């Protein structure tokens, strides 16, 4: 039986955008070019969205352990705009773009501290997956209500111009 996780997440209102503050570029994330390696941008975004799933929506670690289901990222698209160097602090902010009963669509921005320059963006679509069957499954009603509230709280934000950007060579 699926239950609500009162110690995980909340019913809103939700900040617009949601900000995961004070992340730091670790020494092991630096590549031979002297800046953060592209793979670690993905790790940083992933760790930040996990905090949103845990602390804002309640569909993170405790939900997964208890219910045997949780969000799997189906698609991710990143753009690298500015380099980050070892020891630099950054924040990651997210806005919910859309959702249905199984899927979430988020847009994230990685912003260097203290100047707020956007260094990378990421767009993801995640789907709830039952770990036993390895098939998609609907989120419980309480989670869907949270998604709807978050979407409503984020509606007033300007649509990101990079949303849905295609990949290819410009000619």
The tens place of each residue's pLDDT in the chain, 171 residues long, gives 445 554 589 999 999 999 999 999 999 999 999 999 999 999 999 999 999 999 999 999 999 999 999 999 999 999 999 999 999 999 999 999 999 999 999 999 999 999 999 999 999 999 999 999 999 999 999 999 999 999 999 999 999 999 998 888 878
Which domains are present in the chain?
A: 18-154 (3.10.129.10)
CA-CA distance, 76 to 48, in Å (whole number)? 14
CA-CA distance, 21 to 1, in Å (whole number)? 34
């Amino acid at each position: 039986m699926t239950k609500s996780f009162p110690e995980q997440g909340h019913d809103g209102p939700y900040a617009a955008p949601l900000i995961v503050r004070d992340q730091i570029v670790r020494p092991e994330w630096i590549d031979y070019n002297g800046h953060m390696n592209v793979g670690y941008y993905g790790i940083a975004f992933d760790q930040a969205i996990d905090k949103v799933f845990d602390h804002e929506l309640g569909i993170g670690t405790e939900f997964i352990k208890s219910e045997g289901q949780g969000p799997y990222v189906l698609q991710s698209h990143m753009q690298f705009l500015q380099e980050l160097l070892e020891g630099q602090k950054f924040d990651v902010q997210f806005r919910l773009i859309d959702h249905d009963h199984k899927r979430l669509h988020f847009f994230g921005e990685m912003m260097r501290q203290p100047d707020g320059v956007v260094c990378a963006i990421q767009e993801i679509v995640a789907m709830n997956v039952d770990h036993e069957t390895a098939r998609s499954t609907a989120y419980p009603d309480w989670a869907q209500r949270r998604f709807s509230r978050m979407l409503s709280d984020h509606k007033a934000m300007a649509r990101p111009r990079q949303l849905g950007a295609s990949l290819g060579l410009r000619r």
